[in-house]
Structure 1
Amino acid sequence: MDIMFFGSVVTNNPLLSQYGSMVVYDHHTGELKTKYDIRHAGVLQKFDDSTRKLHFGYFAGIWSKIIWSIVGLAPVILMVTGTLMFIIRRQPKTRLNRRKKTLPAHSLKHYN
């Protein structure tokens, strides 16, 4: 494989990642093959690079990481609470059906 170095560059965009520049050297000869600098890239490439920090939530320190973690756990929390609501709502019907089966027919008037 070729030898690659990544680095950050100083720009006005706070969302650019630390992979904004890259140089690639040939692994046999050590000759420079390619170089990339985000400052000379197009708008689409800058947008793509900005989404790294947004995706992982490390654009505003520890608080953004905490918020991103909570938002990431929201589907799990919704699944657990939804399952609990289903189980709780299902239980009274089962108890009522069992009780109907054990009671005499004349005492079931108030259940219907």
Structure 2
Amino acid sequence: MKLKHLLACTSLAAVGFGAQAAEPTFDSVKDVLTKNACLACHAVDKKVVGPAYQEVAEKRKGDPANAALIAQHIRQGSKDVYGPMPMPPNPGISDDDIQKVVAWIMAGAKQ
């Protein structure tokens, strides 16, 4: 009986990891970026008020620890990271939405 449960859990975990492995797309985060007014200051491929998402992705690629740093900047804001314009904090964005956006940025912020 326990072996059946173990096999079922292992199968579900494998499916879950497979779903996580899919590269995030702009379409998967566009609603999050829109409802949290991120696109008022950022664009995918060009500087607006803040840096382009692709610029952030380029600067932060290669080190998985940067995901936590990006999440912190989204939640708490930042200053003097990409220039003199400070990024205001976004306390209303959900943890799930931050994770989606960060995953997309860390994957290269492709349009």
Normalized against structure 2, the TM-score is what?
Answer: 0.23
The structure, 1 or 2, with the larger RCO (C-alpha pairs under 8 Å, 6+ apart) is 2
Larger Cα-atom Rg: 1
Normalized against structure 1, the TM-score is what?
Answer: 0.23
Select the structure that is richer in strand: 1
